[in-house]
Amino acid sequence: MPEPTTDRSTPPAGTGVPANRSSNPSARRLDEVSRTLDALVHDRGFPGALASIRDADGSVRNVAAGDGVPLDGQVRIGSNTKSFTAVALLQLVGEGTLDLDVPVGKYLPNLLCGKGIDGTRILVRHVLQQTSGLPDYMAAWAGDPASFRYRYADPRDLLDVALTMPALFEPGDRWSYSNTNYVVAGLLLQTITGRPWSEQVHRRVIAPLGLQRTYVPAAGELGLRGAHPQGFLRDGAGNLQDHTEFDPSIAWAAGAVIASLSDLNRFATGLLRGELLSPALLAEMQNTVPSDGFPGTGYGLGLARFPQADGSVAWGHGGDIFGAETRGWATADGRAATVAVTALPSDAAGLEAVMAAATTSFEAARS
């Protein structure tokens, strides 16, 4: 496979890449990012890897490794979508049309009913915080992605699958990651505004930040619109198969958004700098509960806490979806980094390698 490519076309105004790289710490850190991505491809077996680094002054540097992987290509960002959905709902809280501590059943009567599931006892906060006890509909389908690769799923179809399973626990008792929570969040957004989830995410999040390479796929849209790497899925024998095209409706408000990594960094820094939410609502989003098994050290309202080695705290989410995994985080001073690989890790060591690459990339962001 070819060596990693690096885009340094957007350094801070009036600067360039020094000829003597060994004496430039920033250049050395960027070279380390390149080596890390190269290792993901050559040593860990990922078909491709990308990184985008945003400095505190807003300059962007992009790196890519792997055959045919474009710099800053668009990827399916998976569960990073949850942060977009949560922001849009929190804006409704700010507008006075939604209350975090009111049962979902007030807004969606008779929707959440099942074995131990009662929408009159599940608060909106529980849904965004992943403490509702709702089972994850993906548990029924994740083992056979080929069966729904080209199948369109209505949000109610996803919810119907979840409601065949019993509640995991009483609302608020503990934390458990469930994509079903964010299907409910998307339905809340649609019901309260009277408009589609996709339109509301675009109007409330994507457009205000000027994210030119971020979008919600249209119904039935199988591919990616801009320059992008291929996405791969391992078959039963462990062989990589092209899975770039599929119907993302199975992820909907929990994971369907497509974005470039630089746009994802811009979203994260804009959120943390208060461009989307009031200080009080951002504080609600960052009020975390313990989240055993999640990469961060605590989960808020669609946002996770990631302490750094230097003592600072960064925020992000991460996303896994067929054909792509993304990991990254940002800080309120404007630094951000995101890494993506073009296949899901096959073991814990692969996931740890992606997390390590994200750490290396974040350390390369200039303050």
Q: CA 235, CA 366: separation in Å to the nearest integer?
A: 40
Phi-psi region of 218 (alpha: psi -120 to 50; beta: other; left: phi over 0): beta
Please provide the DSSP assignment of 343-364 as one string: B--SSHHHHHHHHHHHHHHHHT
Amino acid symbol at 75: V
Q: State how beta strands 48-54 and 60-66 pair.
A: antiparallel
As annotated, the active-site residues are 79
User: How many alpha carbons fall within 13 Å on the CB side of residue 60?
Assistant: 14
Please state, in angstroms and rounded to a whole number, the distance separating the CA atoms of residues 113 and 124.
15
Q: How far apart are CA 278 and CA 255, in angstroms?
A: 25
Q: Which two tokens stand for residue 277?
A: 């939410």
Comparing CA positions, the residue from 224, 234, 227 lying closest to residue 44 is 234
Which residues, including other chains, have CB under 8 Å from residue 270's CB and lie 6 or more apart? 209, 276
Q: Shortest CA distance to 30 belongs to which of 66, 55, 58, 2?
A: 55
Residue 130: closest CA among 274, 323, 298, 333: 298
